[in-house]
Structure 1
Amino acid sequence: MIEAARSFVWHNARVLEQRAFEFLFGDGGADGVVAAVLAYRNDDGGFGHALEPDGRGPSSQPLHTYTALSWLAEVGDDAWVGSAGDFLASVSTSDGGVPNALGTSRDHPRAPWWQVSEESDLLMTALCASVFHRVGSAHPWVGAATEYCWRRIDAMEGSHPYEVAACAKFLDHVPDRARAEVAAERVGRLVRERGLVDLGDGKAHEGYAAGETHRPHQYAPTPDSLARRWFTDDEVARSLDGLEAARKDDGGWTFAWPVWTPVTEFEWRPIVTIEALSVLRAYGRIS
């Protein structure tokens, strides 16, 4: 499975995903991943240039910055967290959160779900805060952002799968573990009560594309994720079975959300292929 995916990546992936694949599943070093990530960095400390494929413009955006810091954290490099925190602080709202997409993205192509706003967004703030907690950063931005996330999570009565998945990442890494466990239990009940997980029916959440669902392994990408407790062993096993079965004949995986411009299909597939292999390895399905 890994060799087939390696062939797929070499045929199709950007330099970043090539370097990341070899770091995770071959003998590639961290330096190559860092160099590839830094190609997307801007002078303001944030990241842009379609690092996350659905935002095509050059400007620094919170989601690009989260993606960059996630890869840097994966290879053990936290040298750029401080300047990235300065960027996020510069675009934060008065309540401590960051918007989904900044106004600087208006003049460039972006997916319809990149919502330009001046208001804070829980999904985006939770993702960004999660990676700062993952690396143990004490940057001043993360304190206010964390409090914003706690307020929103504590008051959560409804949500959607992508937002819940972002909150799950936040809860996996935030330092207050006792509070995180209590919040995760409550969010997990909401997921099941509101039908925010695909346990086999394949029914997409309202407003999503056909087949664009969140399965247990997408909330809990590792066995030690707090969200793993939301699902039974059988539910997780079926989710992983489905993930294995979703591999295409070319060795890679694909995705269910819309392809709004052709290049995104080619850029996203290596990304979700690496994610799929990482989940399968974390659960012991591959070595």
Structure 2
Amino acid sequence: MKMLTQQDYQEIRCWVLRNARPLDLALWKYYFEDGQREDIIDALACYQNEDGGFGNGIEPDCWNRESSPYATMIAMGMLRKTGFMEQEGDRHPIVQGIFRYLESRVHCDGEGWHFCIPSNSECPRAPWWTYSEESNNIQSMGITASICAFILLYDSRKSSLYNRARSYTEMILKKAAGTSEFGEMGAAAVWRLLGDLIQCGLYASFACDSLMERITEAVDSSIERNQEKWAFYTPRPSEFIWGPDSPLYKKNKDIVKKELDYLIDTRTPGGVWNITWSWYDLGEMYAKEFAISENWWMASKALDNVCFLKNFGRIAV
């Protein structure tokens, strides 16, 4: 079995310490070096605006300072993954700010929160972050599902925001039951939402059994199984299977093993992994910004990859 050696690990660690944003560095120390969760929160707070939402380049491919639902969703994900919500819940000011932003209904309509916002088009960005109503129509299902899950898990059941999240969730599940167009992240987000409904005791309220089977199949079929395509931007197993206890792991053991081997084989000697995308034509306009964004992403992806390898016991002691 291929292993990431301690020398490999130290090379990755040094690269991350030299190149990562303070936020990703705090996450690295938390996951691998007994770092403090409070350091993550301190770094995360630098991306939060007065309205409670997040922006300011927390999404490295979009340097918009304005708060957006997508950027706020990224912050929510970090709070969940680090166990912060279970310890602090909705009492912490950073979480109260998030709920305040969502309650404001900015960049939100009758069907949910928007994928991209108009001011994106005024800042350095990847082309897919240029404002587009068509993109919102296709991609907003995934964002709304993720935001609804956070609200249903952690907000007060007496709040108007909680009731709105329940309403959005009902619409999302009805739409998911009758569509094959989920956008890039919609199927996976709905699949995770269904799991979160189980966690918060609402699964039976939405009669999800038949949908769970359908969405699980959709997510499973979205995994790219051709290793030759992994050098390009495509969904690898690690996007949906984080460890041996992941629901999709049992039927995907072989392809997970191949990705674990692939990661060990494809790391840049002495460094980390290259990203698999660029800013295309906008990369010429924002060459300096993309070079910075690329480094940020490489550190972030190094964190993800090392977590994945660690979870499957692929780092030599």
Please give the TM-score of this superposition, normalised by the length of structure 2: 0.77
Does structure 1 residue 52 correspond to structure 2 residue 59? yes
Cα distance change on mapping 1:169 and 1:222 into 2, 3 Å: farther
Alpha-carbon distance, 1:198 to partner? 1.3
Counterparts of 1:214 and 1:75 in 2: how far apart (Å)? 25
2:216 alignment counterpart: 188
Residues 56 and 108 of structure 1 are in contact (CA less than 8 Å); yes or no, is this contact kept in structure 2?
yes
Counterparts of 1:245 and 1:40 in 2: how far apart (Å)? 35
Does structure 1 residue 143 correspond to structure 2 residue 166? yes
Counterparts of 1:27 and 1:164 in 2: how far apart (Å)? 34
Which runs of 5 or more residues in structure 1 are unaligned?
A: 205-209
CA RMSD of aligned residues (A): 2.7
Amino acid at match of 1:202: E
1:174 alignment counterpart: 197
Does structure 1 residue 104 correspond to structure 2 residue 104? no
In structure 2, which of residues 228, 231, 234 is the aligned counterpart of residue 202 of structure 1? 228
Counterparts of 1:75 and 1:2 in 2: how far apart (Å)? 25
Does structure 1 residue 258 correspond to structure 2 residue 275? no
Alpha-carbon distance, 1:215 to partner? 1.7
Give the stretch that moved more between structures: 141-150 or 5-14.
Answer: 141-150
Identity of aligned residues (%): 26
Alpha-carbon distance, 1:21 to partner? 0.5
Counterparts of 2:211 and 2:299 in 1: how far apart (Å)? 33
1:207 alignment counterpart: none
Residues 141 and 186 of structure 2 are in contact (CA less than 8 Å); yes or no, is this contact kept in structure 1?
yes
In structure 2, which of residues 7, 11, 15 is the aligned counterpart of residue 4 of structure 1? 11
Counterparts of 2:267 and 2:192 in 1: how far apart (Å)? 25
- Name the SS for the 2:176 alignment partner: helix
Amino acid at match of 2:314: R
Counterparts of 2:209 and 2:264 in 1: how far apart (Å)? 30
Alpha-carbon distance, 1:145 to partner? 3.4
Cα distance change on mapping 1:244 and 1:88 into 2, 3 Å: farther
Amino acid at match of 2:10: E
Query: How many equivalent pairs are there?
Result: 278
Alpha-carbon distance, 1:154 to partner? 1.8
Cα distance change on mapping 1:171 and 1:238 into 2, 3 Å: farther
Residues 121 and 129 of structure 2 are in contact (CA less than 8 Å); yes or no, is this contact kept in structure 1?
no
Cα distance change on mapping 1:132 and 1:219 into 2, 3 Å: same
Counterparts of 1:271 and 1:136 in 2: how far apart (Å)? 26
Alpha-carbon distance, 1:201 to partner? 4.6
- Name the SS for the 1:174 alignment partner: helix
Cα distance change on mapping 1:264 and 1:62 into 2, 3 Å: same
Counterparts of 2:147 and 2:209 in 1: how far apart (Å)? 20
In structure 1, which of residues 149, 154, 162 is the aligned counterpart of residue 185 of structure 2? 162
Residues 126 and 278 of structure 2 are in contact (CA less than 8 Å); yes or no, is this contact kept in structure 1?
no
Q: Which structure's residues are more often helix, by fraction?
A: 2
| Greater Rg by CA | 2
Alpha-carbon distance, 1:218 to partner? 1.4
Q: Map 1:25-36; keep pairs closer than 5 Å.
A: 25-36=32-43
Alpha-carbon distance, 1:252 to partner? 1.9
Amino acid at match of 1:148: M
Q: Map 1:216-255; keep pairs closer than 5 Å.
A: 216-228=237-249, 231-255=251-275
- Name the SS for the 2:129 alignment partner: coil
Does structure 1 residue 85 correspond to structure 2 residue 99? yes
Amino acid at match of 2:224: D
Residues 49 and 59 of structure 1 are in contact (CA less than 8 Å); yes or no, is this contact kept in structure 2?
yes
Q: 1:34-77, CA deviations, whole angstroms, 9 ceiling, x for partnerless residues?
A: 00000011011101100111110110011211111222231514
1:277 alignment counterpart: 306
Runs of 4+ in structure 1 off by over 6 angstroms are none
Does structure 1 residue 129 correspond to structure 2 residue 144? no
Amino acid at match of 2:154: G
Amino acid at match of 1:11: R
- Name the SS for the 1:167 alignment partner: helix
Please give the TM-score of this superposition, normalised by the length of structure 1: 0.84
Cα distance change on mapping 1:61 and 1:92 into 2, 3 Å: closer
Cα distance change on mapping 1:5 and 1:97 into 2, 3 Å: same
Q: 1:86-115, CA deviations, whole angstroms, 9 ceiling, x for partnerless residues?
A: 322412544341111122333222221125
Cα distance change on mapping 1:202 and 1:169 into 2, 3 Å: farther
Residues 100 and 115 of structure 1 are in contact (CA less than 8 Å); yes or no, is this contact kept in structure 2?
no
Amino acid at match of 2:240: Y
Cα distance change on mapping 1:27 and 1:271 into 2, 3 Å: same
